[in-house]
Structure 1
Amino acid sequence: MSSHPKESGHIVVGVDGSASSKEALRWAVRQAELTGCRVDAVIAWEYPPLYGSIGWVDAPQEIAGSIKLAAARALDDAIQEVAKTGDVSPVHAAVAYGTAAAVLLEAARDASLLVVGSRGHGGFSGALLGSVSQHCTQHAPCPVVVVRGRGR
């Protein structure tokens, strides 16, 4: 038996830079303060599909590096905006390659909770849930909280 105190768990939150994802991050930080959990803020990125003379091709590496850097910057900006210095629960940033839903489900494998916004970038603005939040609620290995934006 380990003599180290057991960690209370961790909360995974999906962030894409949208207002909805920032609300989800705010909610996750408040929940972590109440429960003693840590927060893992996760952003996903993937190559844009390109069509060439031979069909679908992978994007050049220089584009991939730029996309990953832009994703990391969006995540850092969201964390700086939402999480105040000195918060009880620090926010750990993670940038991962893949579709948003797949990356979040993988990150949530051993999480206490998965938190997502109801609407991210893209999609239909009138829909109640986005495709990522809907997929996560149906397939997550842990409880899921979907945070709706302010003013709704």
Structure 2
Amino acid sequence: MTEQDEPQRRIVVGVDGSPSSIDALRWAVDQARSSGASIEAITAWQYPVSTGWSVPIAADEDLAGMALKVLDDVVARATDPDRPVEIHPRVVQGDTVACLLEAARSADLLVVGSRGHGGFVGALLGSVSGHCVQHAPCPVVVVRHSTG
């Protein structure tokens, strides 16, 4: 098998606009440079639905468009135009964990940020990174935001 016959490595990165997701994408970009991988940067969105909770969202709100704007902004902030890496931004509708796990099915690596909610708060809110670590079909890297 020649190098051209080998499938390209693929890193999936969850991006939500948080500082930790920016750091996660930066980490993945460095990893992609060293391994020759491409990156699939994914932002998931869904209409907020909860019993007894109303959210002021107009029927004509372009949530997918807003998600794409966040994703494009993070990609621009996390990359260096002088050292390009192949990045495929993708906005998907659905539960964040489910979308990331689906994308990771054929990936070599899944990278997510950690917002740092631990203990009781983390248990109540659930954790995207925790679910990904427990259920991903590939290795997972969780990147914490560095405050220094």
TM-score range normalised by the length of the shorter chain: 0.7 to 0.9
* Alignment partner of 1:81 out of 66, 72, 77: 77
**Cα RMSD for the two superposed structures:** 2.7
Q: Distance in 2 between matches of 1:103 and 1:22?
A: 18
Q: TM-score, normalised by structure 2?
A: 0.83
Describe the SS at the equivalent of 1:62: coil
Match of 2:34 in 1: 34
1:127 to 81, 98, 118: 118
User: Whole-Å Cα distance in 2 between the matches of residues 145 and 3 of structure 1?
Assistant: 26
Deviations 1:59-106 (A, max 9, x none): 77523xx11111000000000011111434221100001011011001
8 Å Cα contact 1:83-1:91 kept in structure 2: no
Q: Given the two structures, how large is their TM-score scaled by the length of structure 1?
A: 0.81
Unaligned runs of 5+ in 2: none
Count of equivalent residues: 140
- Within 5 A, what are the aligned runs for 1:83-98? 83-98=79-94
C-alpha distance in 2, partners of 1:60/1:126? 30
SS of residue in 1 equivalent to 2:138: coil
Q: Distance in 2 between matches of 1:5 and 1:88?
A: 23
The percentage of counterpart residues that share the same residue type is: 46
Q: Structure 1 regions of 5+ residues with no counterpart?
A: 120-124
